[in-house]
Structure 1
């Protein structure tokens, strides 16, 4: 199952319905909006990994939505792609000029859409990894380039998987990461590990960092907080 969050913004109910159906079937978390103003509000609430925006919409068009999102630092790493009609060359250029990452032309075939979505989400992961060199939360600094963790002046020694696990949890403070998501992102889908592997690594992190940073969400997974 995919864990990425996707926001669909389009004023055509039929398009919203078919896109939402196909994305949910792939396991994505999906929210929808039928105009640009509502799309902005939902983006602020959801903080999606990917936003699919129609260009021509009532109240506020997709280009203006993109412009406002890109003006806010919290959406720097959000991938934004546009839905456009084939003849909308000018709109496509304007969309990319305001910070859009790509565009998808209508009519949309579900199989093509899913392929593009996967590619865009991979691009977003690379973009985030390239831009972020350290994570500072409270008195903890995670240096992603030197692969070290500092608490004030103290250097905390972590094993590779402990570091990878901490980096994942701290990348989005307050977000609950499911056990499956942690396994996939830290150990990979091709690696077979025991059911207690995550628990053991969490215990070691708590011993080294302190008990209050990582919270257990019973029956779901873990989150980082301070």
Structure 2
């Protein structure tokens, strides 16, 4: 079984390609979703250790996905990471939903490292 399961929601091809390059070789199973509906279906089947939500898909939809995951007891331990634009970063929203936020443009290697650290920590506690 994969070391960690990652669900990437609403991310553009550049982010997807970077994470594929950096994570797939390290026993991370990566699944993708383009909408909140798809994210719900993927989360049900994958039971991700980490969910990355790109606010580029729309701020309201991104927040709704995060809130729904946090409300579901099956995903309370999932690591939740937000990818934000400057505009998203400036606007106020409940950051407590997320374990981590990354502002674009960001270093994909740094994001991959944080995912490994946070998922590794989660696995040790479990």
TM-score, scaled relative to structure 2: 0.82
CA distance in 1, matches of 2:102, 2:46: 22
- 2-structure distance, mates of 1:6, 1:48: 5
Which contiguous aligned blocks of 4+ residues in structure 1 show a shift greater than 6 angstroms?
A: none
- Return closer, same or farther for 1:77/1:85 CA change in 2, 3 Å cut-off: same
User: Which of the pair is proportionally richer in helix?
Assistant: 2
Higher relative contact order (CA 8 A, sep 6+): 2
Q: 1:86: how far off? A: 3.5
Q: Contact between 1:12 and 1:34, CA under 8 Å: does it hold in 2?
A: no
Q: Is the 8 A contact 1:11 1:35 kept in 2?
A: no
Aligned ranges 1:34-53 → 2 under 5 Å? 34-53=34-53
Q: Which residue does 1:188 correspond to in 2?
A: none
Offset at residue 90 of structure 1 (A): 4.5
Unaligned runs of 5+ in 2: none
Alpha-carbon distance in structure 2 between the residues aligned to 1:96 and 1:106: 16
Match status 1:119 vs 2:99: no
Q: Is the 8 A contact 1:55 1:84 kept in 2?
A: yes
- How many corresponding residue pairs? 126
> Which runs of 5 or more residues in structure 1 are unaligned?
130-226
For normalisation by structure 1, the TM-score amounts to 0.49
Provide the alpha-carbon RMSD of the alignment: 2.5
1:113 CA displacement: 1.8
For residues 45 and 57 of structure 1, the distance between their equivalents in structure 2, rounded to whole angstroms, comes to 22
Q: CA deviation at 1:125?
A: 3.2
Larger Cα-atom Rg? 1
Report the alpha carbon displacement of residue 22 of structure 1 after superposing the two structures with TM: 2.0
